[in-house]
Chains A and B, each alone.
Chain A
Amino acid sequence: MVKGGICDGTCVLNAGGFAGAGNSFSQEHNMKKALLCSAVAAGCFAGSALAERGSDGQLNIIYWQAASILNPYLSGGTKDIEASSLVIEPLARYDETGMMVPVLVDEIPTVDNGGVSEDLKSITWTLSEGVKWSDGSALTAADVAFTAAYCLDPEGGCQQASNFTDVESVEAVDDLTVKVSFSVAKPFPYGPFVGSQVPVIQKAQFENCMGAKAPECTEANFGPIGTGPFVVSEFKANDVVTYEANSNYRDEAKPAFGSVVFKGGGDAASAARSVLETGEFDYAWNLQVEPEILSKMASAGKGTVVSAFGTSVERLMVNKTNPDPALGDKRATVEGGAHPFLTDLSVVNALSKAIDRQILVDVGYGDAGQPTCNVLPAPAIYASTANDECLAQDIAAANKLLDDAGWVRGGDGVREKDGVRLSILYQTSTNSVRQATQALVKQWWAEIGVETELRNIDASVFFGGDQSSPDTFQKFFADIEMYTNNFDGTDPENYMANWSCGEIPSPANQWLGDNMPRYCNADYDALVAKMAVTAKLEERAELAKQMNDMLMQEGAMIPLIHRGGVSAHANTLAGVRMNEWDSELWNAADWKRAE
Chain B
Amino acid sequence: MGKEAILRVDGLSMYFPVYRGVLRKKVGEIKAVDDVSFDITRGETLGLVGESGCGKSTTGRAILKLYDPTAGRIELQGRDITELEGDELRRIRTDMQMIFQDPQACLNPRMTVGSIIAEPLDEHTRLKRRQKRERVRELLDAVGMNPDFENRYPHEFSGGQRQRIGIARALALEPKFIVCDEPIAALDVSIQAQVVNLLEDLQKQHNLTYLFISHDLSMVRHIADRIAVMYLGRLVELAPRQQLYSMPRHPYTKALLSAVPEPDPAREALRERIILKGDVPSPANPPSGCNFSTRCPIAEDKCRREAPAWRKMDGGRFVACHMVQ
Chains A and B touch (C-beta atoms under 8 A apart): no
Chain A residues within CB distance 8 Å of chain B: none
Q: Which residues of B contact A (CB under 8 A)?
A: none
